[in-house]
Each structure stands twice: as structure tokens, then as C-alpha cells.
Structure 1
Amino acid sequence: MADRWPFTGREAQLREIAALLRGPDGYGVVLAGAAGFGKSRLARAALAEAAERGAVTRWAAASSAARALPLGAFGALVTASDADPSLLLRRAAQALAAGTPPERLVIAVDDAHQLDDVSALLLHQLAVQRQARLLLTVRTGEPAPDLVTALWKDGYLQRVDLGPLPIEDTARLLDNVLGATVAEADIRRLWELTRGNVLYLRHLVTAEAAAGRLYADRGVWHWTGRPELPPGLTELVGAAMGELSPAEKAVTDLLALAEPLAVAVLAGLADPAAVEAAEQRGVVTVAVEDGELTARLAHPLYAEACRAALGTLRARRLRGAIAGALPGHDVLRRAVLLLDSDLDPDRDLFVAAGRQAAQLCDLNLSERLGRAGVAAGGGYAAQQLVTASLVGMARYERAEEEFAALIRLAASDDEVATAAVGQVLHLAFTAAQPLQAASALAEAERRVTAPRAASRLLAIRALLDGQGGRPQQAMASAEAALTGADVPDEAVLLGCSGLVIALGSAGRADEIQAVAQRALAAAAQSPELAFYAIPMTGLWTHGLVAAGYLGEAAAIAEEFRRTSGEMVFGREIATVLAGFVAMAQGRLGSALPLLRDARSALVPFGDAGGWGYTNLVLLAQAEAMAGDAAAASARLADAAAGRHATLGFLVPAEALARAWVLAATGAVSRARATAREAAAAAAAHGMAAYEVGALQAAVGFGDRDAAQRLAELSRLVQGPRVALAAAHAAALSGGDPARLDAAATAWEQAGELVAAADAAAQAAVLWAERGRHGSAAGAAARAHRIAASTGGLRTPALVAAARPLPVSEREREVITLAAAGLSNREIAERLFVSVRTVEGHVYRAGAKTGVSARARFRDLLEPP
């Protein structure tokens, strides 16, 4: 952390002050603002700027102590030795000027509202007689000498009012001070607590960093827990509040515990005259909110200071009094106050309030209220709050124990189903234990007979099958769960989610929208189930991308990103989806930052739902597409180490990422074979759309044997991608550069830039082989243009087109690996061939290219 905080956020005011000090109208500036808003820092910066352009500057600081002496603020600059006031002022002015022309003299006075009368008169004369340019700071809300006030009221000085430092500038300031970015949510918390007061912010940040509650993790600063005001900040806040009478202190204590409070409620708990007095002093603000006169403390830190000074017993008594005075409909606040009060617990209130807290996404509070409800005898309903909150906050260490308690408390079929759904989701997607999840689901199915409850269990089975890579079973379970006139909203959301991933993977993307819309409608009707819309949106996007509906997928991902900010885990998943779609489009310049940001943002959630694993697979592929083999290999290794056992539908995706990593290392034949393996894995599980994507990648890597299978799939799979991939494969298989040019055009029009660049690059190579060098140059230029638009694409086809060589594909592959520093033995192991075979390829490639030294292969392969 920087010792000296940099000047940040007041650049516009600094320019304004500089212009006013130079301008012909007026003879200076008054900076007005509350304590801690940076008036003194800004004045010093303005004075330094004036000195840089040749002004002679003076600095004086007024204070309550110096106010008792004539010219006390100027004691270090002038000597008050004359008894005659007129001589005293004249000599003081002369001492300040020291022969400097008025237009070059700038005198700054800090805290001018504390000037003594003689000093105020001196400033007034200097301004009226234009003997110097003046720069004063005054604190708003504090009385100032009449002659100081007259300086701006009579137009001699221009008044510039400083407001709180805006949140954007606060973020910039903290980035500079801490040397790294502060998490967006924590910037907002810090700003809301200090309200743009830089002095308060500095004390708070310094103390919280020293206490370890403000800490850096992976290059990002985070702030956790409640702040503890350090002594220096407590003194500043206390000085701002001033001396309060016992009755006024009662008002501020009540508001500190439960602001805002209706004035009628506050006046019933405290002395009404004290409420008025506190408002008059500026410690309390009163405004109409929701049609009711409402009181708040004037600054958030006032509440922190008051709470810190409250004794435990007094605080408990006051909370109880407030809880009893609040209206009955204020359920959440009454419950929170009751938790730490001297009143008896109310289990029904705790459960009702816990549900409200969960709907507001405050899961910490929901858990706390749930546990209070359990302790008060709230039974199943209270325990359900505890388990749901723990899972929602990714606090999994106690979840299984809490779910077991919930299952024991379940009495009706509905309660069993509710408990089982939560338990199965936790085991499957949080704990990544699909076998245990299946066992728990089977046990619940044995206990439940009521149709509505059974439909929820069928729906969760559909989701497990869909995400497990078993689309046909998922469709059957979903159909059974969703059939009927009285399907519960939870069954709709879970069943539709399973059906969406099943349809998307099986190649029936045209049927997805109606299913997804049904699920979102159910989520809108049941706000407590809204969080189910998060994975549903992800699965919908995945299905559209697999089919090649990239425009529609991008629109959904962008809308989800725009609306997900207030949802727990929503923003992080939205970032993954945005990166996924951008990668599918080939926009690596957008995809890579998004996926890297998501990796950092997902850390607090572990691998909840498998999103961490998913993101690593996507990031590995994107980095491989950009040619960063080392980074991609590391990401893929991390993904494989943390593979999510429940997400069987991603097995082809991980294999495809592995193919891209191999391609980035130069092992193109292995990349083709691995892409084929990904296609075979998808086909074996009926995931035809994923088979298309894997075969499309294999064609990009030069596979000439995929045309027949893609032609077959084009009669089975919905969406534009399969027909484009089939045409591309047929053109490459037939060695037809004109048809490859046409494929490149079609791919580019569809928004699939990777395939478009590869098709154009492959056309360039084939045109060159035919001696059509003009056509080859045109196709290569087109491939380069498309690749440049992606923000960093580098594929084997692009490399071959950029640097054509008179060697075979296998010879090029071998010398590419040799150029990367691999020995013949290492190349043989990488390509699954003998060392003698590698030696032969190296020899023949050297003979064809005229290169005798192995080290020169790198020069051959670098693009011109």
C-alpha cells in the first residue's frame, strides 16, 4: 500500500481553479466542502500548479487555537507588532507581497472559516484592492467571519463547491494506492460507507488492510466482514457529530441499530424534541420515503461509531424496543432485531423472514434466521432455510450433515421431494458425486407416491441424465415429469433444464426455445425458484452454440449478463457464457479476457455446478486457438485434475480442447485423431450436435475423411452448422479450392470466424499446389484478414497458408515440432511413430527446403 495517497478524482476542479486564478475576472477562489472531501489537498495542488507557471505563493492555515490572536493564521508570514490597525494591515500586506506584483502573487489560506477578525479583514482588503490572488478553503456547515463570507457573496472570489468523490474516482484512487484492482462489489461497499469522503476512506482502508479484512487474492483486493473503526477515524466521526445531549444520543443510538425509522416510530421511542434537535444539528436527516416521513443518520459512519460505543445490554434492550414498535408487515427487520434482543424468540417470524432474505439473495442472513428458527423449534421449514442457504453460498463442508437432518424431519411426500431435490442437486453438482446423487434420488423415489411430488423427482432425474450425457433417457424422464395439467413450477424448471441440454446435445436445437420459455415463465411466477434460471440459461446457450445459432446465443448471453448482476453466482456464470459464445464466434480478443476474468471470479464458489471446470475447458481451447500452447496445456491439466464427474455431456468438449492444445503444439495429426475421438465419444452417447462440432474441428485440422459422416448428420441434426461443416468437409475431401472459398464465405456469413479462416487458408494451399498463385494469394489474404479480426487466431491451416513449403503434411508437422525444440525421440513419442520414421521425415524435409541445420527450421516456419 502506498504511504502517500495520490491526487485523484479532482482533475476537473483543479483545471477550473487554475483558470480562475489566471483569469481577469475575480481575484481568486473559495473551495467549500465538508471535512474530508479533499479541500486542502486540492488547494495545495492548485498552489503548486500556480508556482510552476511562475507565481509567487504563500500558504497559511487557520485554526481554532490561532483564532485567539490577531493575524494568528499568518503568524509564520507576518509580524503583528503595530498597534495601529491600518499600519498593521498595510505592513502585513507588504510582508506577504514582498514586492511581488499582484498578478503574480497567490495567497492560500486553509480553513478560512476559522480566521480571526483581523486576518479576515486583511484578506478582504487584499481582494478588494486586488493586491493578490486568493485561494481559500472553508468547511460547509461551519460559521465563518462575515468578511470571509462577503468575499464570494460580493463577487470578489468565485466559490467552487466540492462534493463527495464519485465512486468511479474512488475506484481509481484505491487502484493506485493498493497497486491492484479492488473487487467491484467491495468498491461499492467502501464508497457507501465513506460516501466519497477521502479522509474517512484513508483511515478505513489503512485499518482494514492492517486487520487483514482487506486483502489481495490473485491480483484482486477483497473486503470481508464488518469494519472496525480505528481510533483516528472514531475521533474524526465524533468531531463531525459534535457533543450530543443524552436525549440526542438516544436518537442516534436507535437509528444506528435500525435506520431508517419512520419519524413517528422514532418519536415514540425517544424524546420528540431530541429528534428535532438532532436534525437541526445535521446529525440526522429527515425526508419523505414511500410516502412516510423517515429519519436516518446523516452519514453511514455515524452509525458505525454509535454501535461501537453501545454496551451489549443497552443494545439488546433497544433492539427489542424497536422490534416491538415496528409495524407487523416489516417482517425482515423485526426478525433481525429480535435475533439479538432481550425478547423471546419467534420461530414463525424467523422462518418467514428467512424466506424473504433468501428471495433478496442475502443468504448469510437467511441461514442465520433459519438456525434461529431451528433453535426455537421451527422444524422442517427452518432446517430447509439452513440447507438451502449453505448450498447457495457454496459452503459445502456442512451441507451433507444439514441435508441428512432435513431428510429426517421430512414427513409428507412434498417435504421428502423438496429435501431430496436439494440433496441430489448438492451431491450431483456441488460435491460432484453422481453415484451418491443417484442413490439419494432412488431412495426418495421409493418413499414418494403423490403425483406432484413424484414429478419433481422425475424432473431432477431428467436433469441428471441430460447433464450426464444421456440425452435419450433425459428426454423420456422430462416428458414424464412435464406431462399433466398440474406440474409444479420447480418440476417445470428442472425438467425443462434437463430437456434443453438433451435436445441441444442430440441435435434438436429448433425445439429448445419453446422449452426454455416455459421454464423462464415458471421462474417468473415463483421468485423463490428464480436461481434455477441461471443454469437453464447456460444450457440453452450451449445448445444454440452447438447448432450454430451464434447470433441467438450471443443475444441470450448478453441479456443474461445485463440482468444477472444482483443474482448470487449470476454475474460469474454470465461472464463464462459471454466468453463461451465469443470463443465459438472466433472473437478471441473478447473471449480470452472474459474467460480469464471468470476464472478469478469463480474462485470464491469453488467448482459449484461445475462452472469452474467448464470455464477451464473453454479457456484451454481459447488459448490454444490463439496459439498459446503452454498456457493452454496448463489450463487443460487443471481442468482434467478437477474434472466434474456429473457433467458427462462435457466429455467431448474436454477432448476437443485437448485436440486444440495438440494443434497449438504442432502435433496436428494427433489433433485430428483426438478430435475424431471427441466425435466418437459424442456419437456413442447420442450427442449428435457435439459430434458435428468435433468433426468440424477435425476438418479444420486437415481431416479429409469426415465428409460422409457429416453428410449423414446433416439429415439428422438441426441448425445451420452441420450443413456448413458438411460442405467444408466435402470441399476439402475433394481437394476443391473453389468450394473451399465458398465454404469460407458461408462460414464468415454465419459468424463462425475460425472455420472461415481455416477454409480460406486451406483453399490458399490447394490453389498454390495447382499453380494458381493469384488465387492462392487472394485466399491467403482473406484468411489473414479474417484471422486478424478475431484478435489473435492461430491455427495449423493459417500457419501453413502463411508460409507454404514444398513438404508433405507429415513432414511439416515433424519440422514444426523440431523447431519447437523437441528431440527426435520426443517427436516420435508425441506422434506415436518410431524414431527412425522421424529421422526420415526430417531428412526429406531438409532436402526439399535446402535446410541442412535443424535450427533453421524455425526460420522456415515463421510467417513472412
Structure 2
Amino acid sequence: MTMAGPVTAPGFTDVFVGRGGQLELFARGLADRRCRGFVVAGSAGVGKSRLVEECLARAEGAGFRVARATASAAAGAVPLGAIAHLVPAGVDLSDPVVGFAAVARRLAGPDARALVLLIDDLHLLDAASAVLLRQLMDAGVVRLLGTLCTGAPVGEAVDALCRGDAVWRVELAELDRGEAEELLGAVLGGPVAQWAVRELHEACGGNALYLRELVTGALERGALVSDGEIWQLERGPVRGTARLAELIGARLAAAGAAARPVLELLALCEPLPLADAEQAASPAVVAGLESAGLVRAGLDGRRTSVTLAHRLYGEVLRAELPVLRRRELLCRQAARVEARGLKRRDDALHVASWRLAATGTADPAMLVRAAAQARYAHDYRQAGLLLVALPEEHHTTATRLMLGETYFELGDPQRAEAVLAYAAADTTGEQDQLAVAMARSFNLFWGAAQPDEALKVNDAARARVTTADGLRMLDHNEGSMRIASGEPARGLALLEDLEEDIHQAPDPVAWLTGAMMKPLGLELVGRTGDAVAWAERAHAAHLSVGHQTLSPHPAVQLTLVNHALSSLGRLAEAREAGLRGYAELAGASTTPVHQIWLAFSLGRTEWLAGHPASARRWYAEAAALARTHQHIRPLGPALSGLAACAAVLGDLDAAEQACAEARDCLWPDVFAGEELLGEAWLHAARGHFAQARTVLTGAARRARAAGLVTPEAILLTDIARLGGAKEVSGRLSELARHSDSALTRAGARLAAALAADAPDQLLAVAAVFEQAGADLPAAEAAAAAASAWQHAGRSRRATAAAGRAAAIAGRCENARTALLTAAAPTAALTAREREVALLAAVGTRSKDIADGLQLSVRTVNNHLQHAYAKLGVTTRRELATALDRRVQADESDVVGHMGFSRGVTDS
């Protein structure tokens, strides 16, 4: 792991400034004589001051005279207090007309250029200054450049100063999550894990200033680190710098002493009913806090509740609370809620948590009830704290089951096994024994990576279970483990009688376990359409009963939806399902286990789509999470995928490093062959194609022996892409007859077309891959067609195919493969040919082109014919695509320069 030094303010804000094109807008305003002012409005901390500072520098660089004025509460109490230094000595402003003329003369520059005047916090400007400035702006003597705090009270004179067509106003919004991710990546110099982006964005609330201090604080503490591939943030509270605490503390202190009690209570117990908030402070004080933007009020059912307006306010307030004051507030609020009879569903959770935090103990019955509520809310950390606090004599099989499962979800399978093994030895009832056995085998298989032990636990339970339903549940449990172990046929046989409707199953947890793995088994044997249907059914069922079970979050099922859709060849839908699931897991759960598998599955989706940079980021995230939380099963596949992506991107050192680490990993049998994916593509990147094919052939042989149809087809398709089409074409055709996967069938067609060197077939299969969303194989097929046409002496067709390959490859994130280099190079257009082609592509008639360029129509048509031949096209309608989408970027410049408008395309 590597750490970087603190992010400096200039480095952070330089990346931030101008994110929405505001600097370009300001530059246009400077050039527009009708523009008298440029005002940036927004909430505190969004970057207004930094933006206008950069604008001022740009104005000075453009040759304008610049000056500053300070608006403050103190200056605002004195007429002209803010701009007194701009008023020339001896000017008498008692006569406004004469005084204004004198000021205007003294401020006017020798070249009649306006003075650009920067004023921060315009809402604090005194009325006299605002009136004088408005006159100077109207006279063209001053260009105003200022900031305005959204929501702050503004006087009439200042409001008039900031409004009107001549004043350009920009609302600088808070950072959304995408902007925060882009900003973090630029500042840190590499991709940032999605979980880290989410945590930092939620913690800062979109405030750029807060985000900078959070990142700086995390770097200083070593909480934000990079493994060379991706930046990760440690779990736990996100804390900033001492400077951030001071900034927030000053804002909170400005609310006054009367507001402090309710702010402290909110920091510990939010959300609060409005009635409880108004017991801690008067209604007027609470309303004032809302007006000041320190708290928010909203409806929670039929009750109005109050929360702090920013997550960091609570962090700062809690850090300042003395221990006894904290205890007093917690106990008092717990008593209030108990006095109301714990009527709301989450009251028990809150009261137990508050009493536990205040005194270290709570009523055992309430602890159990609260832990169940935390568990159903997927708050595993809180559930664990409550269950650990439960005295031993009050533990039952149910509480131990809950605790064991909580440890698993928190990535601690050893503790989970200890708790569940104790429960198994202390349980006598058959139903309890069955529940413990299933939970224990699940933890051993998925958490501790001990599949043999997990199967032994399942087998031992069969000797103690006598009911038919119980034995079926154990069969389904074994079937799930067999599929995940790379035995799909055996596993599917055990799951054959799994009910299609969860409500018909004797136990929803057991059904969900089987339904989670059945789609994977169907996918592995080539029944990808059935796999998608089962995965979507399992997700819908999980949503319908999620609050009734101790199973994971329903979004976990979207991992299988993503995986099955990817294998079926519906990659855009797969990506959407995976991203939705990842966002839900990151937002609703504190556990990393399921995020690891979903990140891996998203990496696989992007790899199949031919987007190696995106795939590498997801594989890196999965690997980093797996290392951090010692969840070893997905580590090897993630590293192998990462190595393959790095190799295709030409980063051979990173590929070698990932391959070396992957060789030491434990491999789940379900990924037979994928352990060598990275190694194979590393050989290919080095030009050792025979070695790459040998590695993949061995991997495909193992996949075939295990009956893994879809993985074998993917591996054989890679062999065909690396020069072995003739060797694998027959087997791929056979697999395509037993699979409904669009990718498998396209792979078989690609191998056959490559083996026959048939360009028409290659272009047809390129279209099939492109429709599936598999861009890199599509680009490779088109490139191979270009090569075949070139060898056949059909240069125009070769050029057209090469252009199509280049257009598709533009979506492949700079991937480098052997087939892509097979495309015949496109002859470069001359400057005049390009100019004529661009105009023709946007519909300009030949005569108009000739008139505009002062050429003959014959010359224009000759240039067009040369461009057609070089680009491999025959009509003007194909020009935009053939020009690799550069027409849209260039047409406004060329057409605007010549004054042309769109016309009817010549036939």
C-alpha cells in the first residue's frame, strides 16, 4: 500500500475551478461590451471565492485593470465603507451628480477599458456602495466580479446591483457524486473506489471545501491509501482536518448558546421528533436553526422530524461533548421515548443503542429486539455491538445465529464459525439444528473458503434431520455449494425441485440460498436465458420477503442478474443491473463481502464488453476490498482479470505483478480456466501468441471436463482472437448448438469467419458483437475484414472496414490486441479534401462549397471522390461516420467560418 502526502489547497482547487464551464462564460462576458457584471452565487464552501479569483487573474491576463474591495459586516455599517479606497481623495460625494462624475473620470482607464472589480460576499455590501457601483457599471467604467451566498438576506440596493440583463449570474451548485469522483481522481492521480467516493461525497455533502479537508485529513492519517491500482478509504467515521473542525465549529457557535442543547441532542440522537427538539430549545430557536441552514425539518410518516443539515456537524459536535454531558443527553432522550411506549418500529433500536452508549448496558430483551431491527436494516456493525453486549445467559440459538451471520457479513468468518459451532453443540431441536447447519456451512464455504468442511457440516446434518422438507433444504444447500465448486450438472440436479415461488417454500432463507446459485449453474451449462429468468425471479422474491429473513441484502441477487445478463450477451443491461446493485449495497450495508463479488462481476461485464480500463478499475476495487477484509475467494479471479486488462492496455509491469500475486491465491473451481486469463493475455501482449493459445487451451480443457459450457466458449473465443481460429472453430460450433448465449454463438461465427478468411462474414459477426455490447471483439472482427479485403486487392472495401473498426475501437478505451492491428491503414486526407468532406458531410451542396472556397464544382467533386476512396465510402451520408465522428466537432467551426447553412444533400 502506498500513501501520498497531504493534498494542498491549490492543487485541489485548481482541478475544481471551472468544472462547469464558468471560466469560459466569464471570458465571453469580458468580450461582450453589454456585460456589466459577473456574479457567482452558491452556498458556503462550493468554491465561489476560488472561482472569482481565477476569473480576476484571467481578466488581468487579458489586459484589464483589476482591483478588489472587501464587503464585511463591519464595513457594511459605514456608507461607502467597502469601496472608500476607490473614491479619489478630495471628491465631494455630497453632490451625487458631481461626485459621481469625478469618481468616474478618475477610475476610467486611458484606453477606455473598464476596471474589473472583485467583491466577495456582496450580500454584506452597504447600500451607498451598491448604488455608486451600479452607476459606475451602467457607465461602463466598472465591471463587477462578485460572489453571493445563496439564502443570505440581500438589501434592495445590492439586489438591484446583481440583477438585470447586463449582469451575468452563475449558480455554482454543490458537487454531485460524478463530479466528486472526477475531482478525486484528478487530485489523487488515479481511480478511487466507488465506496470511498460515496463515503467522501456523503460526508462532504457536495461541499468542495469540506471535501478538500476530508481528503487532506484522510491522507494525513493514512486512512486513504492506494495499492498502486486504486485508492481505498478505511471503514469507519470520515474525519477531516483540525481546520475543518474549526470552520464548522465557528458556524455552529454563531447560532448562539440557546441553540447548543438541541444541536448536541441532534448530534447524538437524530432524527428527533419536532416536539423533542422543542423541549431542548424554544420553537423560535429551532426555527432559527432551520433558517440558518443548520438543521432540516421534514415529514417522517405523520410526524415532523428534525435532523442536522450536514453529516459533519454531528461529527464536530460529538467530538466536543464531555462524557457526562453525553450520558445525560442519551439517557434523557431514551427516557422520553420509553415514556411514549416504544410505539414506532425503530424505537427499541434507538433506546437500546442510546442506553448502551451511555451506560454500557441495556435491558436484555430490548438488546435482542434492537439487534434484530439493526440486522433487518443491514446495519451489521450496530447489530454486532448490541449482541456482544447481551449477557451470556440471555443468548439463545436465534441470537447466536444472528451473531454468527453478523460476523460473516462483517468479513470475520473465524469468529462466525466459533459462534455457530458453539450454537451447534448447544442446540437440540431439529429445526434449530437445521438452521445452524445451513448458516455454518454457508460461512465455511463462502467466508472461510473451506468447501470440504462446509459439505461435511451439511452431510452431518442429514443424520439428525428427519423431515422431508428439512432433507430437501439440505439437498438445495449442497446443490448451491456444488455449483459454486464448479460442478453445475450435479448442483442443478440437487436443485431440480426448487420451488419457483418463494412463498411455496418451507423456509425462505433456504430457498434464497438455492435461488442465488441456480442461475449460476444454468449459466455455466449454457442455459443463459433460463439463468437470467431465475436471477430476476430470485431478486424479486428477495425484495418481497427481505424484511422477514436473516439473509443478505436483496441487492446481492443483482450480482447474479449482472452475471447472467453478461453471459447471455445483454451487456448494457448487465452493467445497469450491476451498478444499481453496487449503489444499493454501498448505501444500505456496512458489509464489504457482497460488494467484493459484485465489483468482480462488474469487472467481468466490462471485460466482455471490451472496455479494459473500466474493467481494470472494477477488478482493482474487488481485489483491494478482498485484501483489506481478508475475503480470499474472489481475490484470485479479480487479480487475473486485472492482469488481462493491464496487458491489453499495454501496462505489462502491472500485468506481471498481478499475475504473480494471483498465482499464490486459492481458486474457486467455478472459475476453472480464469486463473490463467491474465497470464494468457500477458503472453499475447508480449507477442508470444503460441504460448498464449497453449495456456488458454489447457484452461478450456479443464472447463470442458467440468461441464462449464459458457466459460469454455469464452476461452475458445479468445484462442480464435489470438490466431487459433481453425483449431477451435469446430468445438465452438458444437458449444453454440448447446447454448443460447449470443456471445457463444457470435464467438463460433467469429472463429469460422477467421478460419475461412471471409470478410463478409467477419463484418456480419462484427454487427452481432456490437449489438450485444461487446465492442472489442466487434472492432477486431471488422479489422480482420479490412485485412482480408486488403489481401484480396479490394482497397475501397478494406478502407471502409478499417474505418468501421476504428469507429468501434474508439469505445474500447485504448485496447491493444493483435486483430486490431490487422486493419489496413487509412490514407490521410489532404487539408483541402478534409475541408470539402466536412462540408459535404453536413449537407452543403457542391455548388455552395465551390462558391465558398472559390473553386470550380468539378474540383470540389474531384476532392470528394478522392475522400470517398480514402475513407472507403460511396455516399455523403457515410462521411460523418467515416470521419470518425470528427464532423460534429469541426462542422461548427468550418460552417460558421464560411457562413454556410445546411442544405439538401446532392444525390
Tell me if structure 2 keeps the 8 A contact 1:350–1:369. yes
Q: Counterpart amino acid of 1:567? A: L
Tell me if structure 1 keeps the 8 A contact 2:600–2:619. yes
> What is the CA–CA distance in structure 1 between the aligned matches of 2:652 and 2:138, rounded to whole Å?
73
**Shift, 1:265, TM fit:** 2.9
Quick one: which of 595, 601, 618 aligns to 1:597?
618
Tell me if structure 1 keeps the 8 A contact 2:602–2:618. no
Tell me if structure 1 keeps the 8 A contact 2:783–2:805. no
Helix, strand or coil at the partner of 1:93: helix
**Shift, 1:710, TM fit:** 6.7
Q: Residue 385 of structure 2 aligns with which residue?
A: 368
Q: Counterpart amino acid of 2:665? A: G
**Shift, 1:462, TM fit:** 0.8
Quick one: which of 565, 570, 582 aligns to 2:583?
565
Quick one: which of 492, 517, 521 aligns to 2:511?
492
> What is the CA–CA distance in structure 1 between the aligned matches of 2:604 and 2:371, rounded to whole Å?
36
Q: Residues 611, 216 of structure 1: CA spacing in aligned structure 2 closer, same or farther, 3 A cutoff?
A: closer
> What is the CA–CA distance in structure 2 between the aligned matches of 1:201 and 1:717, rounded to whole Å?
50
Q: Counterpart amino acid of 2:452? A: L
Q: Residues 405, 312 of structure 1: CA spacing in aligned structure 2 closer, same or farther, 3 A cutoff?
A: farther
**Shift, 1:173, TM fit:** 4.6
**Shift, 1:566, TM fit:** 1.0
Tell me if structure 2 keeps the 8 A contact 1:753–1:787. no
Tell me if structure 2 keeps the 8 A contact 1:56–1:100. no
Quick one: which of 401, 407, 420 aligns to 1:390?
407
TM-score normalised per structure 2: 0.72
Q: Residue 458 of structure 2 aligns with which residue?
A: 441
> What is the CA–CA distance in structure 2 between the aligned matches of 1:49 and 1:731, rounded to whole Å?
58
Q: Residue 475 of structure 1 aligns with which residue?
A: 492
Helix, strand or coil at the partner of 2:66: strand
Q: Residue 319 of structure 1 aligns with which residue?
A: 330
> What is the CA–CA distance in structure 2 between the aligned matches of 1:258 and 1:325, rounded to whole Å?
12
Q: Residues 108, 407 of structure 1: CA spacing in aligned structure 2 closer, same or farther, 3 A cutoff?
A: same
TM-score normalised per structure 1: 0.75
Asked if 1:211 corresponds to 2:211, the answer is no
> What is the CA–CA distance in structure 1 between the aligned matches of 2:518 and 2:65, rounded to whole Å?
78
Q: Residues 741, 369 of structure 1: CA spacing in aligned structure 2 closer, same or farther, 3 A cutoff?
A: same
Q: Residues 483, 394 of structure 1: CA spacing in aligned structure 2 closer, same or farther, 3 A cutoff?
A: same
Tell me if structure 1 keeps the 8 A contact 2:486–2:669. yes
Of stretches 596-605 and 530-539 in structure 1, the one that deviates more from structure 2 is: 530-539
Q: Counterpart amino acid of 2:494? A: S
Tell me if structure 1 keeps the 8 A contact 2:561–2:577. no
Q: Residue 610 of structure 1 aligns with which residue?
A: 633
Tell me if structure 2 keeps the 8 A contact 1:757–1:784. no
Quick one: which of 57, 62, 72 aligns to 1:48?
57
> What is the CA–CA distance in structure 1 between the aligned matches of 2:815 and 2:141, rounded to whole Å?
67
Tell me if structure 1 keeps the 8 A contact 2:330–2:358. yes
RMSD: 5.0
Asked if 1:580 corresponds to 2:604, the answer is yes
Asked if 1:226 corresponds to 2:242, the answer is no
Aligned residues: 788
Q: Residues 592, 371 of structure 1: CA spacing in aligned structure 2 closer, same or farther, 3 A cutoff?
A: same
Quick one: which of 414, 419, 429 aligns to 2:431?
414
Asked if 1:166 corresponds to 2:178, the answer is no
Tell me if structure 2 keeps the 8 A contact 1:61–1:110. yes
**Shift, 1:261, TM fit:** 2.0
Q: Counterpart amino acid of 2:267? A: A
Quick one: which of 271, 286, 289 aligns to 1:275?
286
> What is the CA–CA distance in structure 2 between the aligned matches of 1:98 and 1:562, rounded to whole Å?
58
Q: Residues 150, 454 of structure 1: CA spacing in aligned structure 2 closer, same or farther, 3 A cutoff?
A: same
Residues 506-544 of structure 1 deviation map (CA, whole Å, 9 limit, x = unaligned): 455565455445534432332146648777665676677
Q: Residue 875 of structure 2 aligns with which residue?
A: none
> What is the CA–CA distance in structure 2 between the aligned matches of 1:731 and 1:187, rounded to whole Å?
44
Residues 683-742 of structure 1 deviation map (CA, whole Å, 9 limit, x = unaligned): 44444555555556666644767677678767766667778878888899xx8666x975
Helix, strand or coil at the partner of 2:666: coil
Q: Counterpart amino acid of 1:381? A: A
> What is the CA–CA distance in structure 2 between the aligned matches of 1:384 and 1:307, rounded to whole Å?
33
Q: Residue 250 of structure 1 aligns with which residue?
A: 261
Q: Which ranges in structure 1 are unaligned for 5 or more consecutive residues?
A: 804-864
Q: Residues 34, 716 of structure 1: CA spacing in aligned structure 2 closer, same or farther, 3 A cutoff?
A: closer
Tell me if structure 2 keeps the 8 A contact 1:9–1:165. no
> What is the CA–CA distance in structure 2 between the aligned matches of 1:692 and 1:660, rounded to whole Å?
16
Asked if 1:2 corresponds to 2:26, the answer is no
Helix, strand or coil at the partner of 2:358: coil
Q: Residue 316 of structure 2 aligns with which residue?
A: 305
Tell me if structure 2 keeps the 8 A contact 1:37–1:163. yes
Residues 494-517 of structure 1 deviation map (CA, whole Å, 9 limit, x = unaligned): 334444444444455565455445
Asked if 1:522 corresponds to 2:522, the answer is no
Of stretches 59-68 and 457-466 in structure 1, the one that deviates more from structure 2 is: 59-68
Tell me if structure 2 keeps the 8 A contact 1:427–1:436. yes
Q: Counterpart amino acid of 1:395? A: D
**Shift, 1:763, TM fit:** 10
Residues 292-315 of structure 1 deviation map (CA, whole Å, 9 limit, x = unaligned): 333334444443333233222222
> What is the CA–CA distance in structure 2 between the aligned matches of 1:472 and 1:747, rounded to whole Å?
33
Helix, strand or coil at the partner of 1:442: helix
Q: Residues 81, 384 of structure 1: CA spacing in aligned structure 2 closer, same or farther, 3 A cutoff?
A: farther
Q: Counterpart amino acid of 2:601? A: L
Tell me if structure 2 keeps the 8 A contact 1:111–1:136. yes
> What is the CA–CA distance in structure 2 between the aligned matches of 1:519 and 1:84, rounded to whole Å?
79
> What is the CA–CA distance in structure 1 between the aligned matches of 2:190 and 2:436, rounded to whole Å?
43
Which residues in structure 2 correspond to 1:613-762 (within 5 Å)? 613-621=636-644, 634-644=657-667, 647-654=668-675, 673-687=694-708, 690=711, 701-702=723-724, 745=764, 749=768
Tell me if structure 1 keeps the 8 A contact 2:18–2:51. no
Tell me if structure 1 keeps the 8 A contact 2:725–2:752. no
Of stretches 717-726 and 502-511 in structure 1, the one that deviates more from structure 2 is: 717-726
> What is the CA–CA distance in structure 1 between the aligned matches of 2:47 and 2:720, rounded to whole Å?
63
Q: Residues 160, 409 of structure 1: CA spacing in aligned structure 2 closer, same or farther, 3 A cutoff?
A: farther
Q: Residue 417 of structure 2 aligns with which residue?
A: 400
Asked if 1:260 corresponds to 2:267, the answer is no
**Shift, 1:392, TM fit:** 1.9
> What is the CA–CA distance in structure 1 between the aligned matches of 2:33 and 2:602, rounded to whole Å?
55
**Shift, 1:474, TM fit:** 1.8
Asked if 1:97 corresponds to 2:95, the answer is no
Q: Residue 116 of structure 2 aligns with which residue?
A: 106
Q: Counterpart amino acid of 2:620? A: R
Q: Residues 161, 349 of structure 1: CA spacing in aligned structure 2 closer, same or farther, 3 A cutoff?
A: farther
Residues 142-198 of structure 1 deviation map (CA, whole Å, 9 limit, x = unaligned): 677775566458x69848475553335555554454444544444444444444444
> What is the CA–CA distance in structure 2 between the aligned matches of 1:14 and 1:483, rounded to whole Å?
58
Quick one: which of 452, 475, 481 aligns to 1:464?
481
Asked if 1:292 corresponds to 2:303, the answer is yes
Helix, strand or coil at the partner of 1:226: coil
Asked if 1:328 corresponds to 2:343, the answer is yes
Q: Residues 539, 111 of structure 1: CA spacing in aligned structure 2 closer, same or farther, 3 A cutoff?
A: closer
> What is the CA–CA distance in structure 2 between the aligned matches of 1:18 and 1:777, rounded to whole Å?
46
**Shift, 1:461, TM fit:** 1.0
Q: Residue 859 of structure 2 aligns with which residue?
A: none
Q: Which ranges in structure 2 are unaligned for 5 or more consecutive residues?
A: 1-6, 587-591, 826-907
Helix, strand or coil at the partner of 1:566: helix
Q: Residue 431 of structure 1 aligns with which residue?
A: 448
Helix, strand or coil at the partner of 1:447: coil
Q: Residue 845 of structure 1 aligns with which residue?
A: none
Tell me if structure 2 keeps the 8 A contact 1:234–1:305. yes
**Shift, 1:73, TM fit:** 4.3
Tell me if structure 1 keeps the 8 A contact 2:200–2:211. yes
Tell me if structure 1 keeps the 8 A contact 2:43–2:150. yes
